[in-house]
Amino acid sequence: MVVDLEAQATSRTVFLVLHILGGHVGIPLLLLGIYFSRSVTRHPIFVNWCISWMIFSTAYLLIFYAGHITAPNPPFLLCVAQAAIIYATGAMVGTSTFIFFLYINAVVRKAVNQLEQLKLSTSCTVIKTQSLLIPYVSFLAVFCAELVVRARMRIGESAPLNQPGLRLHHRIEIRAHLGSGIGLSTFVVANILQIFTLTLVFRHWRSIGKHLKPTANGVNLSLIIRMSIFTLVTVIGVLVLAAFLGSFKGPIPNIVLASGPLWVVFIFGTSNDLLRVWCFWRDKAVNPPSDNLPIIDSSPV
């Protein structure tokens, strides 16, 4: 088989740049803007979701930061660790995305019921805590399971990269990976839920439109539009990944995955309030009011 080394190098560069720009530059800047600005507020579930994407990129960049990006036979322990972390972060991101979409759905349904306050009651504190912890619990569970599986295989050497510089694999063939299954299934369910939520918004727009204002402690129109765009992007991403399941070994699925954090930054990090934080040299008096105040009320629930 003829290997196009130039094409591999190009794919590797694109893969790394996407992860670095999205997961290690864009999302940290987004979170810093939320943390240090008094005028920008976001619900902890949204912050948790962004952090999960940042960890997702870190998992794929371990080989790069370890200095083995072009090594034909990287250290075996690095292979095992990165493989386990990659599958674990897949489950974590999928779970956190589902929880984020589920929370949006809950707030929209409250708007449909025309409640005056679009925020959870104080009795739901435990539920919010569990929502923040579940993605990390899934990460630890899948990570430990993957390590146990690989340790029991007793493989004594590292194997070549499946796609040089993209991700590490060793000579262990497992028909179904727990982390990949959880991640893909939760993304599919989350997208179905979000499509239902958007349908609910359009069907009941006359009754809930007055609740979706910048002054409301809930979901506003800007967020609905951004969620619609992100849902379309993730649906396309899932379809692309599904199309390349099986024996396909090309770089496209990995590059699609690598673009995820960057999409999060483009869609959710470009709201007016965040842009005003980073464009601090502009005259704030001429800036219009924020169209994306609390993504969901960030006060304690």
| pLDDT number for residue 110 | 76
Mean pLDDT by 10 residues, the chain (301 residues): 54 90 94 85 89 94 83 78 87 91 83 54 55 88 83 50 45 51 84 87 68 49 80 83 64 85 91 80 51 38 31
Q: Can you give the pLDDT at residue 80?
A: 81
CATH entry, 5-286, from 1.20.1070.10, 2.60.120.10, 1.10.260.40, 3.40.50.970: 1.20.1070.10
Q: 116 burial class (0-12, 13-18, 19+ CB within 10 angstroms)?
A: exposed
Which amino acid is located at 278 in the chain?
A: W
- The confidence score (pLDDT) of residue 77 equals 80
Its pTM surpasses 0.85: no
CA distances from 175 to 62, 159, 259, 263, 293 (A): 25, 18, 26, 30, 45
Distance CA(234)–CA(146), nearest Å, equals: 26
Do the beta carbons of residue 26 and residue 265 sit within 8 Å? Answer: yes
pLDDT for the residue 172: 39
What Rg do the C-alpha atoms of the chain give, in angstroms? 21
